[in-house]
Amino acid sequence: MTAETDRLPRRDVRGRDSKLRSLLLSGLLLSGLSLSGAGAQGVKYRGPDASPIGQVLTPVLPDSPAPQAFLGAPLLAQKPAQKPAQKPAQSSPTNTPTPLTDAEKQTLKALFNKVRPASLRIEQCDLNKPGACDDPDGIGSAVLISADGLALTAYHVVEGAKNLSAQRADKKRYAVEVVGYDDQYDLALLRVAVPKGTPFLPLAISRPGVGDAVLAIGNGGGGFLESKVGRLTGLDADAGRADFPPGTLKMNAPLIPGDSGGPILNTRGELTGIVSYVSLRDQDSASFAVPVVANDTRLADLRAGVKRDAPIIGISLDNRYNWAFMLDEDGFEYFSRILKLGNVPGAFFSGVSQGSPAAKAGLKPLVLNGDYERISGDIVTEVNGKRILNFSDFQYAVRSYVPGDTVTLTVLRGPQTLKIPLKLIGRSQVN
């Protein structure tokens, strides 16, 4: 979904404005609403149906299968030939970081040479098929954290992948299996069949601080285990979307798609974070990583084989309606005059996944006639009594539960107000 902060000049839309309708539905009228809420800072992207290692910014709605990127682009694993999409994100304000000193640059350069052998290039390809890894379906990054071949990466790098392999600095390839994952926090633990004695990196004992110099190692843009450096500019950053990990580290290191899943290291060579997504907005770009420390309970769960899905009901909102993702009440009223959405603001959706809870409950996606006016389509106004104004609200409400929970939606369907119970399922259960 995309949404920008510039407010569109108000205009009279009571008459039939076919040009405006066409622009709106073609996805060209994307900058204009003044958005409210945490995520109203730029373009957000993450898609309803994203591909495993090559998800490049398309959004995952209150539910939809597969994560990607936005105001940032999740450094999604992707083919070198693909052009990355972009997505937005946000965090607490920070001051402009001071440039790295020459001494810091030298320290990080020496550190890179030392730790690179513990870094990995993750490819989506079948090791048993000759030539398959010469042109992998997706590329990401990872880092070894134990002597027995355990490695951390971003979940979106390996999500849904049928075949995975890992390359070390010596270009040798090794088999990979997914031990555990946490969808919401975009973390996955892998077991890589590396030989005994392969170097690995220690996890930091404590979290880093703003201003710390950091080293990132990844495979951005089709590169091979390359270094990028910068400073931490924020802690507990918020992407402004429920389908991106909360509480991330914010950096000014120039990361790009393909760097996803790579390590963020402090000057002592300790692992402090795993790269998740980037933010691209005007001249200001930032990178974000999921923080990790030695006593992290999430890592204990991953080592135990926990595979934790995000909850979904099985609906999606396609790119034609990016402008609607975070509509406030005034924005809903404005566009409702064109699309005939009704008088009560709420979340509408354009797709329902086959076999999903939404499909089984008979939820109705938006359908427009030739004049771009609504013929049918549900408007969701509450989840378990919590007021919903837009798709973003819907997403946050659903993500506050877990698969297996039952929620009741308040739905406007024509003149009717319906109460529809749904049992949430995990995102990996929807194709």
pLDDT band at 97 (very low <50, low <70, confident <90, very high): confident
Structural domain includes residue 223: yes
Q: Same domain, yes or no, for 276 and 138?
A: yes
Q: Same domain, yes or no, for 256 and 321?
A: no
Domain count, the chain: 2
Structural domain includes residue 27: no
Handedness of CA 309, 311, 315, 317 (dihedral sign): negative
Q: Same domain, yes or no, for 238 and 325?
A: no
Give residue 221's pLDDT.
87
Structural domain includes residue 43: no
Higher pLDDT, 283 or 201: 201
For 330, phi then psi, to 5°, come to -65, -40
Q: Same domain, yes or no, for 247 and 285?
A: yes
Q: Same domain, yes or no, for 194 and 220?
A: yes
Question: Percent of the chain, pLDDT > 70?
Answer: 77
Give residue 320's pLDDT.
87
Listed residue (318, 127, 119, 146) closest to 219, CA to CA:
119
Q: Same domain, yes or no, for 354 and 222?
A: no
For 173, phi then psi, to 5°, come to -105, 145
Structural domain includes residue 4: no
Structural domain includes residue 31: no
- The CATH number for 263's domain is 2.40.10.120
How far apart are alpha carbons 7 and 105 in whole angstroms?
A: 42
Residue 150 has pLDDT above 90, yes or no: yes
Structural domain includes residue 73: yes
Q: What is the mean pLDDT of the chain?
A: 81
- Of 283, 308, 333, the residue that ends a domain is 308
Q: Same domain, yes or no, for 129 and 244?
A: yes
Q: Same domain, yes or no, for 340 and 299?
A: no
β-strands 173-182, 307-308 pairing: parallel
Query: Which three-class secondary structure state does DSSP give residue 408?
Result: strand
- The CATH number for 418's domain is 2.30.42.10
Residue 44 has pLDDT above 80, yes or no: no
- Of 308, 343, 359, the residue that ends a domain is 308
- Calculate the dihedral angle through the C-alpha atoms of 421, 426, 428, 429, rounding to the nearest 10 degrees: -40
Q: Same domain, yes or no, for 53 and 158?
A: yes
Question: How big, in percent rounded to 5, are the helix, strand and coil portions of the chain?
Answer: 20, 30, 55
Query: Which three-class secondary structure state does DSSP give residue 279?
Result: strand
Q: For the chain, how long is the longest CA-to-CA vector?
A: 73
Structural domain includes residue 16: no
pLDDT band at 19 (very low <50, low <70, confident <90, very high): very low
Structural domain boundaries enclosing 420:
311-429
Q: Same domain, yes or no, for 214 and 358?
A: no
Give residue 385's pLDDT.
97
- Of 266, 290, 308, the residue that ends a domain is 308
Query: Which three-class secondary structure state does DSSP give residue 356?
Result: coil
Tell me the three-class secondary structure of 83-136, residue by residue: CCCCCECECCCCCCCCCCCHHHHHHHHHHHHHHHHHEEEEECCCCCCCCHHHCC
How far apart are alpha carbons 358 and 377 in whole angstroms?
A: 13
Give residue 144's pLDDT.
98
Structural domain includes residue 61: yes
DSSP-assigned letters across all residues of 157-218 = HHTT-S--EEE-TT--EEEEEEEEEETTTTEEEEEE-PPTT----PBPSS---TT-EEEEEE
Q: Same domain, yes or no, for 245 and 361?
A: no
Mean predicted confidence (pLDDT) in 282-309: 91
411 bridge partner residues: 380, 418
Higher pLDDT, 239 or 211: 211
Tell me the three-class secondary structure of 27-82, residue by residue: CCCCECCCCCCCCCCCCCCCCCCCCCCCCCCCCCCCCCCCCCCCECCECCCCCCCC
Give residue 222's pLDDT.
82
Q: Same domain, yes or no, for 189 and 244?
A: yes
- Give the helix/strand (H/E) hosting 26: helix 18-26
Determine the angle formed by the axes of helices 18-26 and 329-339, rounding to 10 degrees.
120
Segment 154-213, tens digit of pLDDT: 999 999 999 999 999 999 999 999 999 999 999 999 999 999 999 999 999 999 999 999
Mean predicted confidence (pLDDT) in 44-72: 30
How far apart are alpha carbons 240 and 248 in whole angstroms?
A: 12
Segment 326-377, tens digit of pLDDT: 999 999 999 999 999 999 999 999 999 999 999 999 999 999 999 999 999 9
